[in-house]
Amino acid sequence: MTAFLYLVVIILFAVSVWQMSKILSMSKAGEDSSTSQIANDKDNKINGKLMLGFVIFIYVLAFISFYKWSDVLLPDSASEHGVDIDQLWLISMIIIFIVGIITQWLLHYFAFKYSGKKGQRATFYADNDRLEFIWTVIPVIVLAGLIIYGLFTWSDIMNVDTEDDPIVIELYAYQFDWRARYAGDDNILGDANVRLIEGVNQLGLDASDPDAQDDIVVNELHLPVGRKILFKMRSQDVLHSAYMPHFRAQMNCVPGMVTQFSFTPTKTTEEMRLDDEIIAKVEHINSIRSEKNVARAIAGDEPLELYEFDYLLLCNKICGNTHYNMQMKIVVETEDEFNEWLSTQDNFATTMKN
Amino acid sequence: MSAQGYAHPVTHDEHEHHHKETFITKYIFSTDHKMISKQYLITGLFMGIIGIAMSLIFRLQLAWPDKQFTIYEVLLGKWGEDGIMDPSVYLALVTIHGTIMVFFVLTAGLSGTFSNLLIPLQIGARDMASGFLNMVSYWLFFLSSIIMVMSLFVEAGPASAGWTVYPPLSALPQAIPGSGAGMTLWLVSMTIFIASSLLGSLNYIVTVLNLRTKGMSMTRLPLTIWAFFVTAIIGVISFPVLLSAGLMMVMDRSFGTSFFLSDIYIAGEVLHNQGGSPVLFEHLFWFLGHPEVYIVLLPALGITSEVIATNARKPIFGYRAMVASILAIAFLSTIVWGHHMFISGMNPFLGSVFTFTTLLIAIPSAVKAFNYITTLWKGNLQLNPAMLFSIGLVSTFITGGLTGIILGDSALDINVHDTYFVVAHFHLVMGISALYGLFAGVYHWFPKMFEGRMMNKNLGYVHFWITAIGAYGVFFPMHFIGMAGLPRRYYTNSAFPYFDDLADVNVVISIFAFITGAAQLVFLYNFIHSMFYGKKGPKNPWNSNTLEWTAEVKHIHGNWDGPIPEVHRWAYDYSKLNKDESDYVIPGQDFVPQHIPLQDNEEEMNH
């Protein structure tokens, strides 16, 4: 696989070197005159052909990229709203590709077709209101469609309907880890402020607030499948961003304010592990890891563990030196499993007592 | 106004007697716009070498995160011990790479160079409105460059909170070491840079408005001048906002105010700051930051318009539509900044508004792209290196612009915000495109800058083709790692297994990056060699219509030895035929320069 890629790169490079040497040798003639550094018919011809070659290169590059790397892309959305996002994404992508393929072709094909020759006369064609009108109106119509579709999707995602009775969970970010706080039986998060951080009270909960007593602070995020979750984000120090790519969810965590994002997970971790795309991805990653392990064994290093799929919460806003490893595991499970897990966790009142 | 003195025709004799120039007044503290433009270009290229070298170093780290390279130790010293790159210096490299490329190379190096060179020459002026302010503008830029480079050598490292320097990370040395003295120098450097940019922009605006030669109405201006003029206006509107954001940041860092800081617990203690908001900084930053994209891009598009029309031997298609789209882009650019902040925690309703304005900007951009393509249609294309770079620009502008339709849509932005998809998008649409504009300008106007010497075209072709292939090779695959969900500014993707399968994409990207980087050495060699040994070409090597080619080849103060030429037509009478369509307007010559009066057998057109 990788060898193939290297090969492609080397071949492309060789082709360009070959073409260059050709250009160099072909344009040696007539070096003395003052016009020697101005493109002549020969240069126009060669570069015109290269332009045609170049647009084909772009197409081939796009094709190879899709062929080779489609399997690294994110799997189908594991949240309800994510399906809409993926749909809009697909439509936008199709439009982009159609427009891109056509315009790139015209651009480079014209550069090839009309490359200069002595005696060739360019057409004096300064403007045409009808053409200008057409290619103003077509983008207007297409974009209007995309804008309207996008805005509906956006407001559906961002306007949280509290009548759905969402489970309230706080995501708490600090350099360089995450904590999650469940609101407990009352489903109300107790007051908190960084000024109250002390000892085991890592998140600065207000011990005098009755709503805070049943709050549960954990370092692994569990979510029940099919229930709407309302995340409240907080940060202790600098900007962070709670990024859950599999759920098409992201929101910055801003010190001094509480931000929010809401979604409904639709696939448990177990279901996701049985998803074809995920199985292929995990196999791929594990084959890479086993390859590395061979090398590690020779060097006497400990082998890497084999990978098993888990949802991730990643930090996606530069937050300091260990930004690249600020992540938390997310477990999506059935409501029963979730409730059982939650009941085994200590609540705030218990933690403070101990 | 000092330039009024130049309005009188200066005779040759006066010239010889009144301008005894010393080395210092000619090459260092020069007030001549042509020299200042060369100073801008060379400083910009020098900063570009640093910026690009940094990107190659961190590409090495991203492709082979678990290998050791002695080059880290050589170049990064204590941050590269045993050939392992320190995570903090990785962040410093991406931060300074961004800052240098956006501000020092593509703002000052591109707009500074060509606004200075072309505004007086193309509008028919003896110099800028104020040569002195112009000189001050360059030296402030030089000073800010020096300070930015100095910041690399600070004990705790240079600024490393990303080029967007979002607080609190950039405000608190406890959060990241680079936010100490390194960040202070960053702020000082940028403050001076902004002053430089404002002085330059005001000068450009005044010059374009007041010093046009007789007959040069606004609708006869070449599109380059329109682009530089509008760019300067956007700069004057938006740079002061960054300055105020910077000053508030200085206050927060040094004087205990709380503009951007609130409720922070860091390094085991609670800070006193209360009531500020980092989101406020984001608003202020992007109020400059987004127009900045167009400050970078519009001059490149202006250069491209001129180069494409000249080399296609055709008028630019839809001159008025081109001007209108420049104005529309400029206006819209000031009301779209919020699309960088869809998920910053600002009100979702604002997200809707900014999605709307952002997607609107695609319309004038599309018009420009279509007009370029139509200009090529049925032309007689002279594929000089400058022309190739201009066509390359249209190509990357389209590719990068199209992904902007995705990122500008708030709903889609949620999942690709701050991933490599964004990195790929903006590098293509503003980074590579603007660099192509810069290269096109250098190849095209090199004879104007260096008294008739021309750059070697074959090295130019080599430079273009490797760069063109390399740039797509770097940034096209990069979209895929973004769509895989890989966040940007990660020192390594191998700290946890999920992104292990992206390793080979990263290797491919890095290899293309090294090849592309190497191609820039060809350009550097060509540039320096041609400066001294380049072949002298004809006075008007590209058979261009604009006024700069009527000016003296040898640089003299005042540009034209005799009176300033009067303008009788627009800049795009290429391949115009006479009334009976038997031959060109001037028989045997497919262009009619702007200073040629209407011919007998010629139809007058109102463009």
Span B262-318, pLDDT tens digits: 999 999 999 999 999 999 999 999 999 999 999 999 999 999 999 999 999 999 999
**A92 CB contacts (<8 Å, ≥6 apart)?**
A146, B405, B406, B409, B412
What does the alpha-carbon distance between residue A296 and residue A304 come to, in Å, rounded to a whole number?
Answer: 8
| Stretch B398-427: mean pLDDT | 96
CB contact under 8 A, B383 and A35: no
Q: What is the pLDDT of residue B17?
A: 47
Q: Distance between CA atoms of A345 and A176, rounded to whole angstroms?
A: 23
Residue B419 is given by DSSP the state B
Whether A147 has its CB under 8 Å from any CB of chain B: the answer is: yes
Mean pLDDT of chain B, nearest integer: 93
For residue B432, what is the DSSP state?
I
Average model confidence (pLDDT) across chain A: 91
Residues B253, B169 contacting (CB under 8 angstroms) = no
Split at pLDDT 50, 70, 90, the class of A5 is: low
**According to the model, what pLDDT value does residue B7 have?**
43
What pLDDT, on a 0 to 100 scale, did the predictor assign at position B26? 79
Write phi, then psi, for B412 (nearest 5 degrees): -80, -30
pLDDT at B12: 45
Among all residues of chain A, which has the CA nearest to that of B510?
A: A9
A91-141 pLDDT, tens digit each: 999 999 999 999 999 999 999 999 999 989 999 998 899 999 999 999 999
> What integer pLDDT is reported at residue B3 of this predicted model?
43
Residues of A in contact with B370 (CB under 8 A): 103, 135
Count the Cβ atoms, other than its own, within 10 Å of residue A65: 17
- Put simply, whether A312 touches B (Cβ < 8 Å) is yes
A contact residues 82-111, partner B, Cβ 8 Å cutoff: 82, 84-85, 88-89, 92-93, 95-96, 99-100, 103-104, 106-108, 110-111
- A25 has a chain B CB within 8 A of its CB: no
CB-nearest partner of A150 from B379, B409, B489: B409
Is omega for the bond preceding A110 within 30 degrees of 0, making it cis? no
Is the CB of B360 less than 8 angstroms away from the CB of A73? no
With CA atoms as reference, the chain A residue closest to B418 would be A316
Query: How far apart, in Å, are the Cα atoms of A338 and each of A182, A211, A225, A315, B339?
Result: 12, 21, 9, 24, 37
* B242-265: pLDDT as tens digits: 999 999 999 999 999 999 999 999
Check whether A249 has a pLDDT greater than 60. Answer: yes
Q: How far is B506 from chain A (nearest CA, A)?
A: 11
Task: Say whether pTM exceeds 0.90.
Answer: yes
Distance from CA of B367 to the nearest CA of A (A): 6
For B199-210, the pLDDT digits (tens) are 999 999 999 999
* pLDDT over 90 (residue A10): no
CA distance B156 to A230: 41
Domains and CATH numbers, chain A: 41-69+101-118 (no CATH), 166-271+307-353 (2.60.40.420)
The reported pLDDT for the residue numbered B226 is 97
**What domains sit in chain B, N to C, each tagged with a CATH number?**
26-550 (1.20.210.10)
Q: What is the pLDDT of residues B440-492, one digit of tens each?
A: 999 999 999 999 999 999 999 999 999 999 999 999 999 999 999 999 999 99
> Are residues B538 and B529 in contact, defined by beta-carbon separation less than 8 angstroms?
no
For residue B569, give both structure tokens: 């037509």
Of A47, A121, A122, the CB nearest to B388: A47
Query: How far is CA A324 from its chain centroid?
Result: 15
| Percentage of the residues of chain B whose pLDDT score is greater than 70 | 96
Secondary structure class of B381 (helix, strand, coil): strand
| pLDDT value for B1 | 37
- The percent of chain B in helix, strand and coil, each rounded to the nearest 5, is 65, 5, 30
Question: Does the pLDDT at position A28 exceed 90?
Answer: no
> Residue B8: its pLDDT value, please?
46
What is the rounded CA–CA span in Å between residue A15 and residue A22?
10
DSSP bridge pairs for A221: A330
Burial of A309 (0-12, 13-18, 19+ CB in 10 A): buried
pLDDT of B607:
66
Average pLDDT over residues A302-317: 93
Residues of B in contact with A151 (CB under 8 A): 352, 355-356, 410-411
So what's the pLDDT on residue B10?
A: 44
**pLDDT score recorded for residue B441:** 97
Give pLDDT, residue B16.
46
pLDDT band at residue A23, thresholds of 50, 70 and 90? Answer: low
* pLDDT, position A13: 72
Which residues does chain B have within 8 Å of residue A4's beta carbon, measured at their own beta carbons?
A: none
> What token pair was written down for A39?
């493109």
Chain A hits for B176, CB-CB cut-off 8 Å, are 320-321
Nearest alpha-carbon partner for B121 in B523, B490, B449, B433: B449
What is the ipTM score, two decimals?
A: 0.92
Contact between A115 and B355 using a beta-carbon 8 Å cutoff? no
> Of A34, A197, A248, which has the smallest distance from its Cβ to B415's Cβ?
A248
Q: What residues are paired with A205 via a beta bridge?
A: A192
Query: Which among B321, B343, B456 is the nearest to A251, CB-wise?
Result: B343
Q: Which of B369, B466, B577 sits opposite A124 (nearest CB)?
A: B577
CB contact under 8 Å between B264 and A324, yes or no, is no
pLDDT in tens, A224-239: 999 999 999 999 999 9
- SS3 for A259-301 is EEEEECECCCHHHHHCCHHHHHHHHHHHHHHHHHHHHHHHHCC
Q: Cα B523–B524–B530 angle (5° rounding)?
A: 85
Please report, rounded to a whole number, the percentage of residues in chain A having pLDDT higher than 70: 94
**Cα gap B23→B29, rounded to integer Å:** 9
pLDDT-based confidence at residue B602 (cuts at 50, 70, 90): confident
- Rounded CA gap, B301 and B316, in Å? 12
Q: Which of A233, A238, A245 has the CB atom closest to B168's CB atom?
A: A238
Q: Report CA-CA distances (Å) from B186 to B240, B292, B356.
A: 17, 18, 34
The alpha helices in B455-557, defined as continuous H runs, are 457-483, 503-533
d(CA B227, CA B222): 9
Percent of chain B with pLDDT strictly greater than 90: 90
- The tens digit of pLDDT for each residue in B23-38 reads 887 788 899 999 999 9
Using 50, 70 and 90 to split pLDDT, how confident is the model at A162? confident
Q: A-B interface: how many C-beta pairs under 8 angstroms?
A: 418
The reported pLDDT for the residue numbered B605 is 80
Chain segment B496-546, per-residue pLDDT in tens:
999 999 999 999 999 999 999 999 999 999 999 999 999 999 999 999 999
Give residue A7's pLDDT: 72
Q: What is the mean pLDDT of residues A19-43?
A: 72
Distance from CA of A1 to the nearest CA of B (A): 9
- Is A67 in the B-facing interface, judged by CB distances under 8 Å? no
**Minimum Cα–Cα distance from A282: chain B residue:** B498
> What is the pLDDT at residue B15?
46
Average pLDDT value for residue range A264-272? 96
- Confidence at residue B183, expressed as pLDDT on a 0 to 100 scale: 96
Residue with tokens 């938390």: A328
